[in-house]
Structure formats: C-alpha cells, structure tokens
Amino acid sequence: MDVNYFIRLLIVILASLFVIVGNKIYSNNYVEKLENKKKIFKLSNIIVFIYYVILLFNMVFFARYNSINSYNLIPFNTIIDICRNGTLSFIIINIFGNLLIFMPLEYFLIELFKIKKFFFNFAISFSIIVLIELFQYIFKVGVLDIDDLILSVFGMMFFYIIYVLVVAKDNKIESSG
C-alpha cells in the first residue's frame, strides 16, 4: 500500500460526508414536506453509495499493479509485524485504513438497507469482508489476511455502536424539545 491508497480513502470519506451534510442542509432549509425530505435523503444516500462502491472497488481490487498470491490466517500476525517493522505512514495506512475504509459501508447498511439489528448487521458486515478477502486472494489482487478481516469488521462495528448512540441521543433530544 502506498500513500495514494490513503489519499483515496480520505477522498471517499470526505466526499461522502460532503454529500450527506449538504443534503441535510438543503433539506432542512429548502424542503418543507417531511416526505420530500426523506426522498431527498434516500436519493443522496443512493448517490453516495454508488460513488463509494465504485471507489471501494477501485481501491480493493484494482489499486495494485502486481499479482499477489499470499495469505495470513494467524490473528494479529500482520498487525504485530507492521507495528514492529513498518514506517509510521505504513502503520497509519494499513491499520487505520482497514479500520476506516468500511465505516461508510456500515452507514449504508444501517440507513439505506435498514439493517439495524446488531447480530444481523454483524453477520452481514463479516460476510462482506470475508467475500472481499476471498476475492482478493482468488483473483490475486491482494492478500487474504485475517487481520484485515478483524480490523475492518471492528471498524464497522465501532461505527455501528457510535451511530446507534448518536441516533439514540438525537431521538431523546427531539422528544424532549
């Protein structure tokens, strides 16, 4: 992985946030009917989701120029090796990249696909990451790494918990105000 990977990750996150926040500002200030606000919100989520999937596909499957055919099935082996031997930028790109890259996907699982039950959400998240890791290995475009699975699913579930807490807090504030 190189710095371009991290830059693309930041672009995905920032562009997604920009569209979602822009949609919120637009619907709050210029749309009066609640059902129209919901339609605009869903449409913007669909647009951002398509954009995210295209960029994610590019980063996960097409970002590497050489054929890779290896795997790691020992938990935390890659993480420990990177922390011991990697440069600071490589640690940030690999560890935080895997934690952050699928957080927007978790948002879409919750908001767009309405997968809100924790266990079902976890099962879907886990399955998606396993499929991505398997495809990387089968098509020789990445390493099948249990640590990527651990970090990615942890990042998604961390986002899920934060999201649920924020939404619960917002609902509590709206009902009391």
The reported pLDDT for the residue numbered 65 is 65
State how many domains the chain has. 1
Quick check: 5 pLDDT over 80? no
**Burial group, residue 111, by CB count within 10 angstroms (0-12, 13-18, 19+):** middle
What range does the domain containing 144 cover?
3-176
Residue 121: count other Cβ atoms within 10 Å of its Cβ: 19
Nearest to 52 by CA among 125, 108, 97: 108
The reported pLDDT for the residue numbered 105 is 94
Residue 49: phi and psi, rounded to 5, are: -60, -45
Quick: pLDDT tens for 7-63.
Answer: 776 777 787 778 778 777 877 788 878 788 788 888 888 888 988 898 888 888 877
